[in-house]
A and B are shown apart, each in its own frame.
Chain A
């Protein structure tokens, strides 16, 4: 027994990242197994199924290879292009409104003026509310006959508008449901600002830089990484945008609000699974492209070098 114990000590001391001791191989494998099985079943297998069936006519039962037919049809369908445009519109709304607003609020709250914790808490609350709940809330909020928005704006604009079912405003109305949910951006930015060495700002202050100058020229550049990260997180949500649109407008009017996810879902419902998966592959590709681009632009991942 003593020898084994010494052996163990030697193995363990070799390095923090030791090789797996022979006696541990079983338990270690067993320990990784559940994650591996779940990953294989719900990520790898579906990916494989997707890759194969985008080139087929498939309804879950009957299967026939059709080559690039699904993609040909996709490219010639104006509704597909509308859903691409809308999806990118929602992405842009997040990047150009939600994230800048969140960064501004996060930088402001990081000044820690009296009452900052209250604001952080209150501004974070909408982030934990589900998309389905938000859809119900806004279907009532936007309602032209009893919704609060028209009651508030009525005296100003002198009339009511059917925000969700007027093609001119529908996309904006949908975007309006999520661009002000900035809680996540705010807390991420605040955490990053808190990690900035105080000396840096004190030195700038000593040099006579004003508060606004310090924020714009010292703090903001240091946030590049986290801004890129929150954009990534948000883009992933927007590319898969479904709940809100599905419940609020079902994609209408005249497909003005529909998204790729909704478009794929319709094809799936109609039993065109191969086609739905072709759209799915576009969603995945779009996601990969945007992620790679954002990582490049914001140089994420280079920090660890």
Chain B
């Protein structure tokens, strides 16, 4: 017994010390550093040789520190999964649960939807309301997908890009077509011709790119845009919407007809991209940043950039082409400390300034979330392919948000899980759509 008593006596202080250090660690210390600057942490401002967005954020953060020397300072956290990828949401959820969210970082709208429910994201609505000029500077739909049901503004928009389809002019000509189709029927007859030449009509990945095409099919449907903008968030059974059913079945038929790559379920965008980059797929949907991250890298076949065009999505009828205009991503804050929030506000204002958004467009290919004078944009000499669709926006009949913008946060994971089973015929369209809706809501 004495041994046990000794053990207990000796253990108690040890555990207590542990508990004490734990408590002190959670306070997070003072936000003001030795130089008298308010320090905030940024989880998506790290140097990166592979991700132009991170690299731009890093450089912008250095410019911010330079401009606010003595007052504010952004400290870079090298967070895993900071860039993109399916692990990012779970990762930030874990941080939210550990009460350890960074002071400022970027999220997409589905992730914002999920994380806002933890109650640990800052609402920027008061700051925006207090400065009419600043809030008026943003593009008309810039806050779509970044807002809450009671007018909360969970994020400051990072970009606003028209998202279309890249295609390879040479390969298309080889199959006997000299222009990218403008209706889905033409698209399918083009696909049949292309397949006959032994190349893949369209490269998909079972995740991001596939959902982009789904959004295009829904958004260009006469009754579809309302679904993407609203119903997708409120309806608990998507199989009730005729446009969605038609779009889903059409997308499935491309798989069964062999219009897509063999590995179209992997969930790795690069599996799809590699087909386009090797010149074995005619088309791939993605945002303008694709030019910088893929087309202009050593992975791309020689001459591919010159052969590539960037166009709006075909439509269900003639002159019903469409573009995804909101892919929804923004800067969020995970701090509740008023001192830090002061610095956070200064930082997000800095990032939405004309100089920085133009610089972002130049270095990433992503287009500004705020309205920039045409002369300034022209002077910036942006990458022509990346910025090309912005100019075509006025002539496009339909614009709509990406499905992910208003859908519940679990849509990516639910899609990746259910889509292969649906295409392989294990579940029918109604079951697929109602489960997709249900699982997206659970995962969020």
Direct contact of A and B (CB under 8 A): yes
A: residues with CB less than 8 A from B are 20, 25-26, 28-30, 32-33, 36-37, 40-41, 59-60, 139, 143-146, 160, 162, 164-168, 250-256, 266, 269-271
> Which 9 A-B pairs rank lowest in CB-CB distance, beginning with the nearest?
A254-B421, A253-B420, A165-B265, A252-B417, A144-B262, A29-B6, A165-B420, A145-B262, A253-B421
Which one of A36, A146, A250, A255 lies within 8 Å of B86 (CB-CB)? A250
User: Is B234 in contact with chain A by the CB < 8 A criterion?
Assistant: no
Tell me if A143 and B263 are in contact (CB < 8 A): yes
Q: Give the distance in Å from the alpha carbon of A263 to the alpha carbon of B413 in the complex.
A: 13
Tell me if A253 and B266 are in contact (CB < 8 A): no
| Nearest CB on B from A28, distance (A) | 7
Q: Give the distance in Å from the alpha carbon of A40 to the alpha carbon of B15 in the complex.
A: 10
Which one of B2, B93, B418 lies within 8 Å of A269 (CB-CB)? B93
Inter-chain contacts of B267 with A (CB < 8 A):
250
B: residues with CB less than 8 A from A are 2-3, 6-7, 10-11, 14-15, 18, 86, 90, 93-94, 97, 118, 206, 261-263, 265-267, 271, 275, 413, 416-421, 424, 426-427, 442-444
Tell me if A20 and B265 are in contact (CB < 8 A): no
Task: Using known A-B contacts A143-B263, A143-B271, A270-B442, determine if residue A20 contacts B421 with beta carbons closer than 8 Å.
Answer: no
| Nearest CB on B from A269, distance (A) | 5
Tell me if B118 and A162 are in contact (CB < 8 A): no
Q: A166-B424, A253-B420 are in contact. List 10 more A-B contacts (CB 8 A).
A: A164-B266, A165-B420, A251-B417, A252-B417, A253-B417, A253-B421, A255-B417, A256-B421, A269-B94, A270-B442
Tell me if B443 and A270 are in contact (CB < 8 A): yes
Which one of A32, A41, A145 lies within 8 Å of B261 (CB-CB)? A145
Q: Give the distance in Å from the alpha carbon of A32 to the alpha carbon of B4 in the complex.
A: 10
Task: Using known A-B contacts A25-B6, A270-B443, determine if residue A162 contacts B275 with beta carbons closer than 8 Å.
Answer: no
Give the residue among A167, A251, A269 with the most B Cβ atoms within 10 A.
A269
Q: Give the distance in Å from the alpha carbon of A40 to the alpha carbon of B11 in the complex.
A: 10
Tell me if B421 and A167 are in contact (CB < 8 A): yes
Inter-chain contacts of B418 with A (CB < 8 A):
252-254
Task: Using known A-B contacts A25-B6, A28-B3, A33-B11, determine if residue A165 contacts B206 with beta carbons closer than 8 Å.
Answer: yes
Which A residue's beta carbon lies closest to that of B432?
A: A254
Which A residue's beta carbon lies closest to that of B89?
A: A269
Inter-chain contacts of A165 with B (CB < 8 A):
206, 265-266, 420
Tally the A-B contacts, defined by beta carbons under 8 Å. Answer: 91
Q: Can you list 11 contacts pairing A with B, beta carbon distance less than 8 Å?
A: A25-B3, A37-B15, A40-B11, A60-B97, A146-B263, A164-B266, A166-B420, A250-B86, A253-B418, A253-B419, A254-B426
Tell me if B3 and A29 are in contact (CB < 8 A): yes
Inter-chain contacts of A29 with B (CB < 8 A):
3, 6-7, 10
Tell me if B93 and A162 are in contact (CB < 8 A): no
Inter-chain contacts of B426 with A (CB < 8 A):
167, 254
Q: Give the distance in Å from the alpha carbon of A285 to the alpha carbon of B292 in the complex.
A: 52
Task: Using known A-B contacts A145-B262, A250-B267, A253-B420, determine if residue A269 contacts B90 with beta carbons closer than 8 Å.
Answer: yes
> DSSP majority for the B interface?
helix
| Nearest CB on B from A173, distance (A) | 12
Q: Give the distance in Å from the alpha carbon of A266 to the alpha carbon of B267 in the complex.
A: 18
Q: Give the distance in Å from the alpha carbon of A252 to the alpha carbon of B419 in the complex.
A: 9
Tell me if A271 and B93 are in contact (CB < 8 A): yes
Q: Give the distance in Å from the alpha carbon of A167 to the alpha carbon of B421 in the complex.
A: 7
Inter-chain contacts of A251 with B (CB < 8 A):
417
Give the residue among B6, B11, B262, B267 with the most A Cβ atoms within 10 A.
B262
Q: Give the distance in Å from the alpha carbon of A46 to the alpha carbon of B15 in the complex.
A: 15
Q: Give the distance in Å from the alpha carbon of A32 to the alpha carbon of B271 in the complex.
A: 53
Q: Give the distance in Å from the alpha carbon of A285 to the alpha carbon of B122 in the complex.
A: 42
Tell me if A253 and B7 are in contact (CB < 8 A): no
Inter-chain contacts of B265 with A (CB < 8 A):
162, 165, 253
Inter-chain contacts of B261 with A (CB < 8 A):
145
Q: Give the distance in Å from the alpha carbon of A265 to the alpha carbon of B263 in the complex.
A: 27
Task: Using known A-B contacts A250-B417, A253-B420, determine if residue A162 contacts B10 with beta carbons closer than 8 Å.
Answer: no
Q: Give the distance in Å from the alpha carbon of A40 to the alpha carbon of B18 in the complex.
A: 13
Tell me if A145 and B271 are in contact (CB < 8 A): yes
Which B residue's beta carbon lies closest to that of A59?
A: B97
Which one of B11, B15, B263, B442 lies within 8 Å of A144 (CB-CB)? B263
Q: Give the distance in Å from the alpha carbon of A266 to the alpha carbon of B264 in the complex.
A: 24
Q: Give the distance in Å from the alpha carbon of A144 to the alpha carbon of B258 in the complex.
A: 13
Inter-chain contacts of A26 with B (CB < 8 A):
6
| Nearest CB on B from A234, distance (A) | 28
Tell me if B11 and A37 are in contact (CB < 8 A): yes
Which A residue's beta carbon lies closest to that of B200?
A: A145
Task: Using known A-B contacts A29-B6, A33-B10, A165-B266, determine if residue A271 contacts B421 with beta carbons closer than 8 Å.
Answer: no
Inter-chain contacts of B93 with A (CB < 8 A):
269-271
Q: Give the distance in Å from the alpha carbon of A270 to the alpha carbon of B94 in the complex.
A: 9
Inter-chain contacts of B419 with A (CB < 8 A):
253
Give the residue among B261, B265, B413, B427 with the most A Cβ atoms within 10 A.
B265
Which B residue's beta carbon lies closest to that of A162?
A: B265
Which one of B14, B94, B118, B416 lies within 8 Å of A250 (CB-CB)? B416
Which B residue's beta carbon lies closest to that of A33?
A: B10
Q: Give the distance in Å from the alpha carbon of A145 to the alpha carbon of B18 in the complex.
A: 53
Inter-chain contacts of B420 with A (CB < 8 A):
162, 165-167, 252-254
Q: Give the distance in Å from the alpha carbon of A168 to the alpha carbon of B15 in the complex.
A: 51
